[in-house]
Amino acid sequence: MMGDAAMEERWRDLEKLLSRPGNIVSPNFEPSDQLREELGEYVRVLVVGAGGLGCELLKDLALSGFKNLDVIDMDTIEVSNLNRQFLFRIHDVGKSKAEVAAKRVMERVSGVNIVPHFCRIEDKDFEFYRDFNIIALGLDSIEARSYINSVACSFLEYDDDDNPCEETIKPMVDGGTEGFKGHARVIMPGVTPCFECTIWLFPPQVKFPLCTLAETPRTAAHCIEYAHLIKWDEVHRGKTFDADNPEHMQWIYSEALKRAELFGIAGVTYSLTQGVVKNIIPAIASTNAIISATCALEAFKIATGCSKTLSNYLTYNGLEGLHTKVTEFVKDPGCLICGPGTLIELETSVTLSELIDMLGEHPKLKISRPSITHQGKNLYMQAPPILVELTRANLPLPVFELVDRAPRSVVHVTGYAENDGKRSSCVRKLRVVFNGVDGGTRGVPS
């Protein structure tokens, strides 16, 4: 444990940042000797992912004065993680990444409390995420980023002039690495572009034609994907492949080796098999450290206001020399995730069936055959028949009850819209406000 003098020395630079005025500070920044203590006491940060970036983020945030941290990760530690996920040791293999990472950081940084969650991000309800002031992402999956982005944006509310309500903005800091390249970005839902606004920044995943896999494999990746996409179903008909099951992965590796030997192809390894099947992006410890430090600094600036935040996307390339660039991307006003959507006012007694009728008559929407979802839950679906039957019972129920009695809620509608006599498929976002409920409003035109 560190002595009092050593502890004061540890926080010296932070306290200088927080106790002095400056020219590039946030408008609401008030320098104070108490800011560091308040940062540790009142700010809660969720770190999503406890891998290469997540380990670095937990360490950096803990050393930046954040004391209330949570970390969520569904994975267990593997031998291949140990070269860059520095919080883990060989005797940790097979254990929860989140639990081990939390324990190691708390052992080294006194005063910090880290709560681990060994589960999928989808296993937590939306209220779990509401409790955090900042969400820091250390993910290697586009799908996982999209999910967390939609969760954070679900808390966003707009006023009657379509301006985001500041108290409902859930800041996110996102980092990503690939070899010697990386990015860090700040997402302020409703203000900066969200993940979906700029999803085109991510290149499409590499896909191999099935005919190549089955007839003319030329690379180790072809052999692995053959075992994964073709051979597995032939041998294990009806059994779902689980990429997180070591026995399943070992079977794919063995079959890929046989395939490679048959065609005289070298390079199939267990590590490569994991990378191809799970779409693992190659990672380097130094890149993780640089991007994590950037993300932790942005989280610190968001929480304290001691400096203006990144605007709003930083790219790093350390392949040949060192190159960094900051790009200010623009928010998509029509984004279905973070955009304002269409405001519609309802009485608490309006049923889902009545809302469906209203959508067809609404002057701005005119949606026919709508399917309606709320926070990923199907309220009513027009197809396929099995979902029609499963959701039919919701039709006579009040919408207010179906959205958990929230005075303001966001629902997404898919259906067909009429424009200039032409009928086309559409997706629309609705901001539903309920009259007479605390937090709702009256007099909002629908």
Residue 444 lies in a domain: no
Containing structural domain, residue 391: 342-434
Which positions are catalytic?
A: 211
Q: Helix, strand or coil for residue 138?
A: strand
Helix (H) or strand (E) holding 346: strand 342-346
Residue 443 lies in a domain: no
- Per-residue pLDDT for the chain (446 aa), expressed as one digit of tens each? 555 666 667 888 888 888 888 888 888 888 888 888 889 899 999 999 999 999 999 999 999 999 999 999 998 988 878 888 999 999 999 999 999 999 999 999 988 999 999 999 989 988 899 999 999 999 988 888 988 998 898 888 888 788 888 999 999 999 999 889 999 999 999 999 999 998 888 776 666 677 778 888 889 999 999 999 899 989 988 888 988 788 999 999 999 999 999 999 999 998 888 888 877 666 788 999 999 999 999 999 999 999 999 999 999 998 888 888 999 999 988 888 888 888 888 999 999 999 999 888 887 788 888 899 887 789 999 888 888 899 999 999 999 999 888 888 888 888 888 776 677 788 888 888 888 776 554 433 33
Q: How does strand 134-138 pair with strand 44-48?
A: parallel
Residue 332 lies in a domain: no
CA 400 – CA 348 distance, rounded (Å)? 5
Pair (102, 233) in one structural domain: no
CB 54 within 8 A of CB 101: yes
What tokens does 417 get?
Answer: 């819209």
**Residue 390, by phi and psi: left (phi above 0), alpha (psi -120 to 50) or beta?**
alpha
Pair (103, 63) in one structural domain: yes
**Residue 144, by phi and psi: left (phi above 0), alpha (psi -120 to 50) or beta?**
alpha
**For residue 112, how many other CB atoms are within 10 A of its CB?**
20
Pair (270, 419) in one structural domain: no
CB 265 within 8 A of CB 155: no
Pair (190, 120) in one structural domain: yes
Q: Which residues does 289 contact at the CB level (< 8 Å), separation at least 6?
A: 56
Pair (49, 93) in one structural domain: yes
Rounded-to-5 percentages of helix, strand, coil across the chain = 40, 20, 40
Pair (265, 296) in one structural domain: no
Kindly report the backbone phi and psi dihedral angles of residue 166, in degrees, each rounded to the nearest multiple of 5, phi listed first: -55, -40
